[in-house]
Amino acid sequence: MIESPDRTPMPREFFDRPVLEVAPELLGCTLTRLTDDGPIELRLTEVEAYAGEVDPGSHAYRGRTARNDVMFGPPGHAYVYFTYGMWHCLNVVCGPEGMASGVLLRAGEIRVGADLARKRRFSARSDKELAKGPARLATALDVDRDLNGTDLCAGPTAPLSLLPGTAPSSDQVRSGPRTGVGGEGAHHPWRFWIDGDPTVSPYRAHTPRRRAT
């Protein structure tokens, strides 16, 4: 018999902790997506923590709204938002419930279903770019707002799940400022990535958009 990898999702208690503890421990974990065409899986290489209503960089900073409602709910669920008129980004809600904290899944290495991911990410120059960036990750895995609120701990039949993976050694885990976050929350080193991994997205400072004419 060939030994099969662990298909049991992360327990909900894993997410029901302060987001700054959870975020770095998500590196190396497996994100699985069951599409109509087949499974797609990736190993997480880059994440960012958003610390709820007290975090100026968080969507939850100005309180509960229709969009961020899921963030205020139980941990272990997917918060998917739509941005720049064309992209989706995927987060995992963390604890404690009501604090509205979450982890943005920014990048990963596609391990299963690269052929499916390539179809969705046809402009990618190499497989390393399939999920290099939060909107690319969501596109590669066919994640949109239909999956907002999905329980990531529900089990193998769920459309989207988080599973244990191969954690990087602690000296490979790096942290730094969050990409594209400006204002008061800009300096916190709440972005975490696996050092040297080619699928990690480049850092960019926040750039205010030029005013419309």
Chain centroid to Cα 198, Å, comes to 17
- Closer residue to DNA (CB): 157 or 211: 211
Provide the minimum distance between the beta carbon of 7 and DNA in the complex, in angstroms, as a whole number. Answer: 27
Closest separation in Å from C-beta 180 to DNA: 2
- Min separation Cβ 97 and DNA, Å: 16
Task: For DNA, give the closer residue by CB, 7 or 62.
Answer: 62
Other beta carbons less than 10 A from residue 151's beta carbon: 16
Instruction: For the CB of residue 185, give the shortest distance to DNA in the complex, in Å.
Output: 9
Comparison of 85 and 169: residue with beta carbon closer to DNA: 85
Backbone angles phi, psi at 208, to 5 degrees: -65, 135
CA distance 147 to 70: 11
> Which distant-in-sequence residues (6+ apart) come within 8 Å of 103 by Cβ?
19, 22, 23, 26, 47, 48, 49, 50, 91, 92, 94
Using the minimum distance from each CB to DNA, give the nearer residue, 8 or 146.
146
Give the binding site for DNA (CB under 7 A): 48, 50, 57-60, 62, 65-68, 71, 79, 82-87, 89, 91, 102, 104, 121, 123-124, 129, 133-137, 178-182, 201, 204, 207-212
CA distance 185 to 173: 21
